[in-house]
Amino acid sequence: MISEPPSVAAPTAGTSIGQKPSHHTEDNRFTNPWPTWQEKSLMQVLKWRYNAPKRPSMGWLASNKQPTPAELREAFPVKPLDTDVFAHADAPGVRAAWIGHATCLLQMAGLTFLTDPHFSERASPFSWLGPKRIVDPAIKLTDPSLPKIDFILISHNHYDHLDTTSVKQLHKRFGQSLAWYVPLKLGPWFHALGIKNVTELDWWQEVQHPGTQVSITMTPAQHWSSRSLTDRRQTLWGGYCVQSPHHSIWFAGDTAYCPVFQEIGRLFAPIDLALIPIGAYEPTWFMGPQHCDTAEAVKIHQEVGAQRSIAIHHGTFSLTDEALDEPRTFLPRLAEEAGLKANEFQALQHGACLQIRPQQSV
């Protein structure tokens, strides 16, 4: 629980325009209030794409510049999700499985939840165009063995994090009993789909999940939002800290490295499990203000006070210029160089589970 006011304050009722928090702008949009942020222009986007190295649309491997779909599947095998691990939500400890990209299945304090659920073939508004999955999700939303989901955390509205088809399928399966926690101004998007159980949150805003002792706090991230050419930064972005009386899970969302992570650590450490992005960072001149690289991810792990971390946002979609297997290859060496213990911060296989028992320590 937040015990001290953070430096990047959330708004209070009746706040005037002149007193808006630093991430709220005068034109009712949002921004990143740190010197590490740089907004990229359309010309810079075109410069990146024009100068990008030639690579297959499905991405490449460090050892193979032209991998076939079969070779990509071999490089990123999927472990069938062991749903028995999640069969008893009231079991003590924390359970987590990496489904793919930023999607994790999590369980703690009797609750089961998902982060940024994406189960579709493409991260795009189109079914025929846009980044295509190189690795299938570890479980389908129609699988009867998928446990009941109590709530979902949405970090922001980019297509690789907010997938319309997945949202519709989850709502169809679990109905209005499924709670959605989303950034400010994203609620209307869900309401348009007939989803009513939606809670909008600002940075540092904390709510109690109904009928439980579990709290959910939205934490800042350095990123941006958009689903079209005209709605840039109209909705907020961020991560979440989920806390019970005994455990905590922090989902970083999509973020670059910025000065806020020490503050998150000051307020929430020790964190039992963190989900931290490690990929989509090349070229750094363009991606650096919006995505952290693997070394920065290790630094974030340390600054937030995570006891264990799982790598997310890699090895699922080809979004940027680095080799698809580069982030996970770099992680063990960078973690060791930073003084982390074995498996303290690890890149799981798609579908693999991590269990943290109450007496377990790193």
Q: In sequence order, what DSSP letters do the residues of 110-134 get, joined into one string?
A: TEEEEES---SSBSSSSSSSSPBBS
Whether 240 has a binding-site annotation, put simply, is no
Partners of residue 207 on adjacent β-strands: 216
- CA dist 45 and 242 (Å) reads 35
Cα 127 to the chain's mean position, in Å?
Answer: 22
- CA dist 142 and 163 (Å) reads 16
- CA dist 76 and 98 (Å) reads 13
- CA dist 242 and 221 (Å) reads 16
| 3-class secondary structure, 245 | coil
- CA dist 215 and 27 (Å) reads 31
Whether 281 has a binding-site annotation, put simply, is no
DSSP letter, residue 84: G
- Phi and psi angles of residue 240, each rounded to the nearest 5 degrees, phi first: -145, 140
Query: Which residues neighbour 35 within 8 Å (Cβ) at sequence distance 6 or greater?
Result: none
Partners of residue 215 on adjacent β-strands: 208, 243
Residue ranges of the binding site? 159, 291
